Amino acid sequence: MISDPSARTAEASKVDWKSDRVNTLRDNDTTTPDAAALRTAMVEQLRSEGELRTDPVIRAFATVPRELFAPEAPLEQVYDRDDVVITKRDENGLAVSSVSAPRIQASMLEQAEVRPGMRVLEIGSGGYNAALIAELVGPDGEVTTVDIDQFVVDRARACLAEAGYDRVRVLLVDAEGGVPEHAPFDRIIVTAGAWDIPPAWIDQLAPDGVLVVPLRMRGLTRSVAFVREQGRLVSRGYELCGFVPIQGSGANAERLVLLHGEDVALRLDGDQAADADALSAALTSERVVRPSGVEVGGFEPFDELDLYLATELDGFGLLVATPAAIEAGLAERSARMGAKTALDGVSFAYRASQATTKERTAFEFVVYGHGPDADAVAFRYVELIREWDRTHRGGPGARIEVHPTGTPDTEIGEGRLIDKKHTRVLISWPTSS
C-alpha cells in the first residue's frame, strides 16, 4: 500500500521521553570514546562531501554532542551523515518530529551564514540544530527556537539544558505568526517543510537578513536561501532536501490520486486537476517507450532536471508505486521514490533510466507514456530533457522569487508562476553567459 503523506494507517510508535531519558543518556554519554570518535568521523565525512565548508560551522558540528539530542537511537545512527532520527509519530504512524540528517543541517547552516552576535529564529524545534546555531552566534547572540507541539518543546528544552545550551529560548508557538516580541531576526531558519511563506516571516526578518526555508514547489522541496530585493524575496541558492511537513495553520498536504487500488497513485501539489478514472485506464493501456539519448553518470545528481521539468510542464506530479506493483510491471522502479510525471488530460508520461554500461556506471533517461496521447506527451517530455541537457545542465540553476499575493502579473517576470495563499512564487532559468 502506498503511504499517503496526509493519512498513514500503520500503528504509531510511542516514545516515553521522560521515563526513558535518564537511562538512555547514561548509555550514550558524550564522554565515551565511541561518541567522540563517531562525531569526528561524521565531521570529516561532511567536509569531504562538501556539506561542511566553513570553519565556524565545522567547529559547531565538532563541538555539539548530537547523541544528547537523540538518545532513543544507537550512536551509529545518531552520527550517520544521512540518517534521520524520528522522535515522534502521530496516531497513524506518520513522523511529525525528528532530528534531521546531519548533511541537511550542515547544508542549511552553510546557506544561512550565521555570524557571531546575530539574532536567529528557528522554526521547528528539535534541540540539536538550535545548539549548533548557539555555537555560531556565540555569547553575544540570541537563539529562539519554536514548535507547535508541547511534547517537542519540552523535549528540546530538556535536551538543550542537558547539553549546556539552556540560554536558547524555547517557545510553544504556531510559527505562522512568527515571534514578533523577539523580532527582528538576522536569520530565520525553517526546519519543517513549508508550502508557503507567511507575511510574518518576511516582516520579522531584518532588512539585510536571510530566510532559509525548505519550500515545496509543485511537489518538490528545496532548501532555499532568500534575501530581500526590491520588495520581494530572491534566492541566492538552494539545496535538495526533505523535511517533516509543517503543522498548524500553515499546513498544506499533497493530494493522492489512486490509479490502481492503493498500489499505484499520483501525488499532486496545489490545485492541479486530474481525471482519476481516465488516468487509471491509461496506466493499464499499451505504453510508449521513448529513449532520450541523454546520459548521466552513476553518481551524478540530476535533481536540477527534476526542478526544470516541474517548471516547464503545465501538468506535473509524482507517480508512486509499491514494490508489488513494480514487480507486476505496472510501473518502473523510478516510481518507488516518486517518478517525475507529465500530465496531459487523459494521458501521462514519466521518466526512468536504463544502464548503458555493464558496470552500471552510466544511465540513459527513458520516458514511458500511457494513454491515448501517450506518444505526444512522451515526445514533449523527451524534448524537455534534451533542452535541459543543452541549455541548463551544469548551469547556474533556477532563480526563485517570492512576491506578495496580489502582485500583478505585469510586475512579475517570465517563468513558472505558482500561486499560493500568501505569495506568488516565480521560478525562472537564467542561462550561463
Would you say the C-alpha torsion 137, 138, 140, 143 has a positive or negative sign?
A: positive
Does 347 participate in catalysis according to the annotation?
no
Query: Is-contact 30 67, C-beta < 8 A?
Result: yes
Q: Max alpha carbon distance in the chain (Å)?
A: 66
Query: Is-contact 121 187, C-beta < 8 A?
Result: yes
Angstrom distance (rounded) from CA 417 to CA 423: 10
Query: Is-contact 182 121, C-beta < 8 A?
Result: yes
- The vertex-81 CA angle with 103 and 162, nearest 5°, equals 90
Strand order in the sheet with 423-428: 169-172, 142-147, 119-123, 185-190, 205-217, 220-229, 232-240, 399-404, 423-428, 416-419
Angstrom distance (rounded) from CA 172 to CA 148: 6
CA atoms within 13 A on the CB side of 166: 4
CA atoms within 13 A on the CB side of 230: 4
Is 187 exposed, middle or buried, given 0-12, 13-18 or 19+ CB atoms closer than 10 A? buried
DSSP state of 284: T
Active-site option among 6, 48, 97, 100: 100
- The vertex-42 CA angle with 39 and 45, nearest 5°, equals 150
Amino acid at 395: G
Which residues lie closer than 8 Å to 274 by C-beta, 6 or more apart?
Answer: 257, 266, 268, 317, 343
Question: Strand, helix or coil at 33?
Answer: helix
Query: Is-contact 164 130, C-beta < 8 A?
Result: no
Catalytic residues: 100
